[in-house]
């Protein structure tokens, strides 16, 4: 059998693996938090190791309730639930998109625009559109 026809070899100590409806692989680790591989099909015939950069890592430092993840569940609504040694966590898709602004900008205000955009002001003004995650116009002179 051709090793490239197989999925990736996962070398993460785990009790649970779940594929979500988008095809991402969620790996519940035993003491090192959660691993998520958004596109496991891209790693055919390769190895994803415990601390590989190929997997997203979520731990207590990132807000997970515990690093020992004992259970993973993908519910009907597409939420991913994790049972940890310290609690229950939920991951869900969010329509929010991070928007980078120049360093040093503080004290932001937000105003809803008429066409679904958001006007952001601090020391300058920006208009942020729905499918554009960067400020599109700086009105300050």
Question: Tens digits of per-residue pLDDT, 106-134?
Answer: 788 999 988 888 888 887 788 887 666 45
CB contact at 8 A, 84 and 73: no
Terminal Cα-to-Cα distance of the chain (whole angstroms): 65
Q: What's the CA angle centered on 104, arms 103 and 108, to 5 degrees?
A: 105
pTM of the complete model beyond 0.75: no
The segment with the largest mean pLDDT, out of 39-48, 54-63, 98-107, 131-140, is 54-63
Question: Tens digits of per-residue pLDDT, 66-96?
Answer: 999 999 999 999 999 999 999 999 999 887 7
């Amino acid at each position: 059998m051709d090793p490239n026809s197989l999925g990736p070899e996962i070398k993460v100590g785990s009790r649970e693996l779940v594929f979500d409806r988008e095809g991402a692989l969620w790996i519940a680790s035993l003491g090192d938090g959660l691993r998520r591989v958004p596109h496991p099909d891209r790693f055919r015939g390769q190895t994803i190791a415990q601390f590989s950069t190929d997997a997203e890592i979520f731990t207590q430092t990132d807000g997970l309730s515990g690093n020992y993840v004992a259970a993973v569940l993908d519910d009907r609504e597409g939420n991913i639930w994790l049972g940890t040694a310290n609690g229950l966590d939920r991951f869900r898709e969010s329509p929010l998109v991070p928007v980078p602004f120049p360093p040093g900008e503080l004290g932001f205000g937000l105003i809803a625009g008429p066409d679904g955009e958001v006007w952001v002001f601090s020391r300058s003004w920006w208009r942020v559109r729905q499918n554009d995650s960067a400020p599109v116009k700086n009105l300050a002179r």
